[in-house]
Amino acid sequence: MTQNLYITMENVKKSFNGVPVLKNVNLQIEKGEIHALLGENGAGKSTLMNILGGVHQPDSGSIYINEKEVKMTNPRISQEQGISFIHQELNMVSDLKVYENMYLGSELRNKVGFLKVEEMCRQTHEILARLGVDIDPKEYVRNLATSYKQLIEISKALLHKSTVIIMDEPTTSLAEHEVNRLFELMKNLKKSGISIIYISHKLKEIKEVCDRYTVLRDGEMIKSGNVEQEDLDTITKLMVGKSISQNRFVHEHSFGPVMLEVNNLTSLGLFKNIHFKVKKGEIVGFTGLAGDGRTELFESLFGYRKKYTGEIKINDQLIKIDHPRKAVEAGIGLVPKDRKENAIIKDLSVIHNMSLSSIGNFEKSGFIQDNIERDKFQYYKELLNIKVHNPSITIDKLSGGNQQKVIIAKWLEVGADILIFDNPTQGIDVGAKQEIYQQIVALAEQGKSVIILSSEAPEVMRICHTINVMYQGEITARFKGEEATEEEIMHYATGSKREAAKIG
Partner 1 sequence: MANTNVKEYNPQVSNAKSRLTWLWSEYSVIIAFIIIFIASSIMNPRFLDINNQLNILMQVSIIGIVALGMTVVMLSGGIDLSVGSVLALVGVMTVLALNASGSILIGIFTALVVGSFAGFLNGLMVAKGRIASFIATLGMMAAARSIALYIAEGGSVSGEVKGFTAIANNDLWIFDYPVIIFFAMTALVYILMHKTRFGRYVYALGSNEKAAMLSAIRVDRIKIAVYSLAGLLVSVAAIIETSRLNSISSSSSGVQYELDAIAAVIIGGTRMTGGRGKIIGTLFGVLILGILNNMMNLMNVSPYLQGFVKGLIIIIAVVFQKRE
Please, what sign has the CA dihedral across residues 265, 270, 272, 276?
negative
Residue among 78 and 353 whose Cβ is closer to partner 1:
353
Contact, 369 vs 363, CB < 8 A? Answer: yes
Q: Let me know: does 449 contact 421? Beta carbons within 8 Å.
A: no
Q: Which residues contact 114 (CB under 8 A, 6 or more apart)?
A: none
Binding flag, residue 117, partner 1 (CB under 8 A): no
Q: Kindly report the number of other CB atoms within 10 A of residue 88's CB atom.
A: 13
Binding footprint of partner 1, residue count (CB under 8 A): 42
Among 82, 336, 473, 481, which residue sits at the site for partner 1 (rule: CB under 8 A)?
Answer: 336
Distance between CA atoms of residues 27 and 29, nearest Å: 7
Closer residue to partner 1 in complex, CB, 51/335: 335
Query: HSE of 214 in the Cβ direction (CA atoms, 13 Å)?
Result: 25
Of residues 374-433, those binding partner 1 (CB under 8 A): 387-390, 393-394, 397-399, 410, 414
Nearer to partner 1, 49 or 416 (CB): 416
The whole-angstrom separation of Cα 403 and Cα 396 is: 8
Residue 343 C-beta: closest distance to partner 1, Å = 6
Binding mask 343-372 for partner 1 (x = CB under 8 A): xxxxxx---x---xx-xx--x--xxx----
Distance of closest approach, residue 15 Cβ to partner 1, in angstroms: 9
283 binds partner 1 (CB under 8 A): no
Contact segment (CB under 8 A) with partner 1 among 48-56, 163-171, 334-342, 461-469 equals 334-342
CB of 332 to partner 1, least distance (A): 9
Whichever of 217 and 491 has its CB closer to partner 1, that residue is 217
Residue 19 near partner 1 by CB under 8 A: yes
Cα 79 to Cα 109, 166, 306, 343, 433: the distances in Å are 21, 12, 47, 36, 36
- Least distance CB 409 / partner 1 (angstroms): 13
Neighbours of 315 (CB within 10 A): 15
257 DSSP 8-state letter: S
Site for partner 1 in 60-89 (CB under 8 A): none
What angle is formed at CA 41 by the lines to CA 38 and CA 42, rounded to 5 degrees?
105
In single-letter form, the type of residue at position 371 comes to N
Contact 228, 244 (CB under 8 A): no
CA distance 332 to 218: 39
Instruction: With contacts defined by CB under 8 A, name the span among 15-23, 123-131, 245-253, 490-498 that binds partner 1.
Output: 15-23
Please state the closest distance from residue 59 (CB atom) to partner 1, in A. 14
Q: Which residues bind partner 1 (CB under 8 A)?
A: 16-19, 42, 302, 304, 323-325, 327-328, 334, 336, 341-348, 352, 356-357, 359-360, 363, 366-368, 387-390, 393-394, 397-399, 410, 414
